[in-house]
Homo-oligomer: A and B are copies of this chain.
Amino acid sequence: MRLGVDVGGTTVKVGFIDNYKIVDRLVVETKKETLFQDVCEKVLAYAKEKNYKIDGIGVGLPGHVVGTLIDKLPNVGIENYDIKPVFNKYFPDAKVYATNDANAAALGELLADDSKTKSAYMLTLGTGVGGGLVIDGRVRDGSHSNCGEVGHMFVDYVHNYKCSCGLNGCLETIASATGIVRLAKQYYNAFETKIKKEMSAKDVLDAAKENDPLGLFVLDVVADALGRAISIIELAVDVDVFYIGGGVSNAGDILIDKITSYYKRYAHYAIKDVSIKRAKIGNDAGMLGAAYLW
């Protein structure tokens, strides 16, 4: 049995995985000081009780990871920490692998996809924009373990907002929850709208689904930026499918359809046929993908 671990800022989700299915789960609170010990102890006790044999452990981590070495997890507060020794202390015979959480989610979505998909890019639209790349069924961490950081690709020369990374016009300044609220505020007086002045990204997206003019306008700007970004990423790496995940993707079909429409406008003629899909398994993708890093 494989263990897929998805480390988040408030909880760690653990999946017990057999033949590409999550057959059992645990949730462990994220405590900076004892995070991996806590996970190991709970899993060990639970596996003993259930008579689960753990052959290997894959971990998706919210930050920069090189092999099994955590460089930095900004939202957790862990730096320069190798997870292999602690897992192998509790599970001496288990393989231990790690990657960035966006990469793990990309692989998870690919494994859960019906089609014969081998290569995929996943874009996670949350507070920021993350990305993960799977090539021929293997996660690509990249030569500097930075593969997938497409939230910081330059794509918006119209608003050219300053990004938290210091650059301007990054995809993340538009296609994240933060970007959506900023856009709605900037254009608030330009449209009739039922959206309240202090809004969340969800308010804007919900309004768009009900044809609110401001909501629709913002969704259009977001889809435009994503269509442009995907048209560029696809030229660079040519995958079968793009998965759109994260909170913003809850906007659903209206978002996916608009992204696809802008993609077709911006894409070179040779790459028009790529598939753009909403991520399907959501919060489970990180666990499932992490469990198939090897």
Tell yes or no: A274 within 8 A of B by CB.
yes
Question: Which among B142, B228, B234 is the interface contact of A239 at CB below 8 angstroms?
Answer: B142
> What residues of chain B lie closer than 8 Å to A199, measured between beta carbons?
none
> What residues of chain B lie closer than 8 Å to A157, measured between beta carbons?
157
CB contact list, A127-180 vs B, under 8 A: 131, 133, 135, 140-150, 152-154, 157, 165-167, 170
Most buried by B among A64, A144, A167, A266: A144
- B273 and A144: CB pair below 8 A? yes
Tell yes or no: A268 within 8 A of B by CB.
yes
Tell yes or no: A236 within 8 A of B by CB.
yes
Tell yes or no: A118 within 8 A of B by CB.
yes
How many A residues touch the partner, as a band? 35 or more
Tell yes or no: A237 within 8 A of B by CB.
yes
- A266 and B143: CB pair below 8 A? no
Q: Which single residue of chain B is at the shortest CB-CB distance from A145? A: B238
The minimal Cβ–Cβ distance linking A29 to chain B, given in whole angstroms, is 29
- B270 and A144: CB pair below 8 A? yes
The minimal Cβ–Cβ distance linking A145 to chain B, given in whole angstroms, is 7
Instruction: Tell me the bound Cα distance from A149 to B228 in angstroms.
Output: 15
- A143 and B238: CB pair below 8 A? yes
- B273 and A238: CB pair below 8 A? no
- A270 and B146: CB pair below 8 A? yes
- B149 and A271: CB pair below 8 A? yes
Tell yes or no: A232 within 8 A of B by CB.
yes
Tell yes or no: A233 within 8 A of B by CB.
yes
Most buried by B among A64, A147, A274: A147
Instruction: Tell me the bound Cα distance from A20 to B160 in angstroms.
Output: 47
Instruction: Tell me the bound Cα distance from A170 to B268 in angstroms.
Output: 9
> What residues of chain B lie closer than 8 Å to A150, measured between beta carbons?
235-236
> What residues of chain B lie closer than 8 Å to A99, measured between beta carbons?
none
- A235 and B143: CB pair below 8 A? no
A237 and B140 contact, Cβ closer than 8 Å, known pairs A146-B271, A271-B149: yes
Tell yes or no: A240 within 8 A of B by CB.
yes
Instruction: Tell me the bound Cα distance from A273 to B146 in angstroms.
Output: 11
Instruction: Tell me the bound Cα distance from A119 to B152 in angstroms.
Output: 21
Which 3 A-B pairs have CB atoms at the shortest separation, nearest pair first?
A: A142-B238, A147-B238, A152-B268
